[in-house]
Structures are given as structure tokens and as C-alpha cells.
Chains A and B, each alone.
Chain A
Amino acid sequence: MSDPRSLLERESQRFVQQDGAFERLRRRRDRKRRNQRIAAGVVGIAVFVAAVWIVTSGGPSDRTQTPANEPSRVNSTDAAEDVVRGFLAAFGAFDPEAAMTYVGDDADLRGLIEPPAPANEKGLSQELAMLEAQRVQLTITWCQAAPFGSSTSVVCGFDFHAIASDVLGLGPFTGSTYVFTVRDGEIVEAAPNANLKQFKSQMRAPFAEWVAATYPRDFHVMYNTGSIPQNPKGFRQVRGRPTEESMRLWRLHIPEYVEAVQQGTA
């Protein structure tokens, strides 16, 4: 029997590429460039339209039924909404691998991923690990899709809990949205529009103040800030640092904070 290498070599010679491969590549490149140019314009308009739609429709608090005589959405918008819902289900389950299956190769995820994490699967993985450590729970309350140029714009409202707000009887924090652009069945852009006002005053700032007072050394590991803020407004602005050690401390201190609040010491 011949060795595997020569057998594979011989077998590979059976596969001859069709002529014109470079021309096909050139056409592919031109198509991609054209789509990128269109996308750049469409994304800006889509975000604007989504914002207008949120304002004029009463936003996420508007849970009214769609009128029966409204024209039914075309399949492409339904499909785009399914893609976004699939992504959000994976996102909410902190599963970056599954989430990335809904995302296009050249997607812009910078809106979802806190710098300096890269806007790719690794960055998303880091971001989701951080959200999980902060005990974030997302509930998608509604989604609305609308065709826009060669893409579909999908806006989804969400409520959320974080830092065990559900255990403390606070939240859910409402009035936030994600805006997605979907093209060819893949997400090409995603950006949140989070309403954090109540969350900052009820959860983020009190927890950060408690950490600063109880574990001042840990504060610098857990938060992306050079020094401990000197006033309540400063605590409302602090952001979690997405490192392994930081996440470990978030997981450790959140239950302690809950206990302290329940005992009236925080």
C-alpha cells in the first residue's frame, strides 16, 4: 500500500479549479466594497430611524398589539428578527460561540464590547464573562424589524437585572434597547442604547461605594478607575474592569453585598 501522503497527493490532483478564479475573486471584492459603502450609509440612517421610531411609538414601554389591518411583515424582516433573537438568546446565556454564529465576518460589534477588549469573538467572550460575573440578567421585551436598503434594521427592547438587584427587590431596569443591522442573514452591526439612570443610582453607585469602603484594595482591581471617587456622582460612572481577577472579585463580593444590605449594614 502507498503511504498516505502520496495517496492524498494523487487524490488532490483530481480536483482542478475552474478557469477564471481570479476574475471571480475580483468580482467578489468589488461586491464586498459596494456592500460596505452602502452599509456605511444605511447604518447611520437605520440608527436615526430606530431612534425616531422609539420616540414616536412610545418606546419600550409601549406593549400595545399591532393593529390587525397593518400590512404583515415580509419574510426577510421576520428572518432578520429571528437572527437577532437567536443572537440575544445566546448573548443572554453568556454563550459567545453560539452568539457569533449569528454575526457576520466583518461585523462591527464595538457598541457591545467595552474597550480595550477587541471587537471580535474573544472580546465578546470577555464581555459576556464580565456580565455573568456581574450577575446581569436580560429579558427581551419586544423586537421590531424594518427593511432598510439592502439590510434590515431590528430594534429590541430589554429589561435587566444586575448585581443581584432581583434578590434585593430592585429593578428590573427598563427602557433600554439594542439596535441591530442584519444583512444576508447575519448581524453586521449592533449597538445598545441602555437606560442606566435608575440602575446607576440604585445599584451601581451603592455597590461601588460599599466595595470602596469595605475592600479598598479590591476596588482598584474591580473597576477601571485610577482612584476611588470622592462623591456619589463619581461612583455612578465607574465601570467594571474585565480581567479574570476582577471577575473573581465581582462573583465573591456581590453575595456579600446582598447580605450586608439585608442586614442593614450597607
Chain B
Amino acid sequence: MVADQAAAFEDFFRGQTQNLYAHLCLITGNRAEAEELAQDAFLRLWERWDRVADMEEPVGYLYRTAMNLFRKRYRRVGVALRKTVSVELREDEFAMAEDRSVVAGALVELTPRQRAALVLTELIGFSSEEAGRMLGIRPGTVRVLASQGRAAMKQHLEAEDV
């Protein structure tokens, strides 16, 4: 029974980890941070797998957990920044990459919240209500952020003539 559960979790992990990691890369702009967030999120699911496995939408729960961790991390960084300027922030890889793609060039112009709203609704297909619950903001705010993200992307891509 326990072995079955462990195997079921491992299957779930292998089926979802690449997607979650890639989506978190798009949101955070940083591979190391995306890896940490993804691992933390999966670890939390693993610890509660006996309940999560029975859920209708374990993938939704996974993303909610990951987004909670993302929010917490950015809030911490925000508060720390207000307290001190010496906080070492991980650099945004979108901004650093010399060979970045045109899309990455567009993403770097967005805030992490705009990226999150865009990725959750546009790419993954969550409703603005679901995304709002994940990000701790109102559905209307999600729509505004996603719309701002789309507009900024469009503007950048048109300038690049993509």
C-alpha cells in the first residue's frame, strides 16, 4: 500500500516536474530559483500525498502550492529590500542572457506578477479566478496583469518584427 503510494507519487512527479519547472522559469526568470520552488512544492505534496492523491485536481494543488511559495519568496525579498539595500538578489536570467530569445526579451520587461498572471492564464489555462487564488489577488487584478503582460509582449515583438 505504502509502496503503491510512493510509486504513484513518483509517477505524478515524473509527469509534472518538467512542466512546472519550465513554467516557474518563465515566471521567476531564474533556473535555480525555479528548481528550488518546484522541489519545495513537490516535497509538500509528497508529505500530504495520501490526501492529495485523492483530489480531483492534484495538478491544480501542485500549482497552488508552488505559487504560494513564489508569493512568499517575493514578499520576503520585498520586505528585506525595504529594510536593507545589501540583500543579494538572484539575477534575472532573462536580463542576463546575451543570446536570449525575442520572447525572453519581451518577458524581461514584465514584472514577476505579470509573468505569473500571463503564464497561469495564457499558457497553462487556469481561469482568472483560479490564478487569483494562487497569487492571492483578485481575479480582476489577474486579468489586468495578464493584459498588461500581453500588451507589453506584443509591443516588444512588434518592435522586433516577429
- Say yes or no for B119: interface residue by CB 8 A criterion: yes
Whether the pair B79, A25 counts as a contact (CB closer than 8 A) is no
Expressed in whole angstroms, the Cα–Cα distance for A28 and B44 within the complex equals 11
0/1 string, A1-39, CB within 8 A of B gives 1: 110110111111111111001101100110010000000
Whether the pair A9, B75 counts as a contact (CB closer than 8 A) is no
Q: Which residues of B contact A97 (CB under 8 A)?
A: 75, 79
Q: Which residues of B contact A100 (CB under 8 A)?
A: 72
Expressed in whole angstroms, the Cα–Cα distance for A21 and B42 within the complex equals 11
0/1 string, B16-44, CB within 8 A of A gives 1: 01110111011000010011001110110
Pairs A–B under 8 Å by Cβ, sample size 16: A4-B153, A4-B154, A5-B122, A8-B118, A11-B26, A12-B19, A15-B25, A15-B34, A16-B18, A25-B39, A25-B43, A29-B47, A32-B43, A86-B83, A98-B79, A105-B72
Q: Per DSSP, are chain A's interface residues mostly helix, strand or loop, or mixed?
A: helix
A113 vs chain B, min Cβ distance (A): 18
Contact residue among B25, B39, B79 (Cβ-Cβ distance under 8 Å from A12): B25
Nearest B-chain residue to A32, judged by Cβ = B43
Whether the pair A4, B75 counts as a contact (CB closer than 8 A) is no
Q: Which residues of A contact B14 (CB under 8 A)?
A: 22
Query: Do A8 and B119 form a contact, CB below 8 Å, given A13-B22, A29-B46?
Result: yes
Of A10, A12, A28, chain B has the most CB atoms within 10 Å of the CB of A12
User: Which residues on A are within 8 Å of B, measured CB to CB?
Assistant: 1-2, 4-5, 7-18, 21-22, 24-25, 28-29, 32, 86, 97-98, 100-101, 105
Nearest A-chain residue to B18, judged by Cβ = A17
B66 vs chain A, min Cβ distance (A): 13
User: Which residues on B are within 8 Å of A, measured CB to CB?
Assistant: 10, 13-14, 17-19, 21-23, 25-26, 31, 34-35, 38-40, 42-43, 46-47, 72, 75-76, 79-80, 83, 101, 103-104, 106-107, 118-119, 122-123, 149-150, 153-154, 157-158, 162
Whether the pair A12, B123 counts as a contact (CB closer than 8 A) is yes
Whether the pair A29, B79 counts as a contact (CB closer than 8 A) is no
Contact residue among A12, A24, A29 (Cβ-Cβ distance under 8 Å from B23): A12
Contact residue among B35, B72, B101 (Cβ-Cβ distance under 8 Å from A14): B101
Nearest A-chain residue to B162, judged by Cβ = A1
Q: Which residues of A contact B40 (CB under 8 A)?
A: 105
Whether the pair B76, A101 counts as a contact (CB closer than 8 A) is yes
Expressed in whole angstroms, the Cα–Cα distance for A4 and B149 within the complex equals 9
Expressed in whole angstroms, the Cα–Cα distance for A4 and B13 within the complex equals 27
Nearest A-chain residue to B157, judged by Cβ = A1
Expressed in whole angstroms, the Cα–Cα distance for A238 and B77 within the complex equals 40
Whether the pair B150, A12 counts as a contact (CB closer than 8 A) is no
Whether the pair B118, A22 counts as a contact (CB closer than 8 A) is no
Shortest 6 CB-CB contacts between residues of A and residues of B: A15-B25, A12-B22, A11-B103, A15-B22, A8-B123, A17-B21
Expressed in whole angstroms, the Cα–Cα distance for A101 and B13 within the complex equals 29
Query: Do A11 and B101 form a contact, CB below 8 Å, given A5-B123, A22-B10?
Result: yes
Whether the pair A17, B35 counts as a contact (CB closer than 8 A) is yes
Whether the pair A2, B22 counts as a contact (CB closer than 8 A) is no
Expressed in whole angstroms, the Cα–Cα distance for A21 and B14 within the complex equals 9
User: 12 new A-B pairs (CB below 8 Å) besides A7-B106, A29-B43?
Assistant: A1-B162, A5-B122, A8-B103, A8-B122, A12-B26, A16-B22, A17-B38, A21-B17, A22-B10, A22-B14, A28-B43, A105-B72
Q: Which residues of A contact B118 (CB under 8 A)?
A: 4, 8
Nearest A-chain residue to B19, judged by Cβ = A12
Whether the pair A4, B104 counts as a contact (CB closer than 8 A) is no
Query: Do A25 and B26 form a contact, CB below 8 Å, given A4-B153, A98-B79?
Result: no
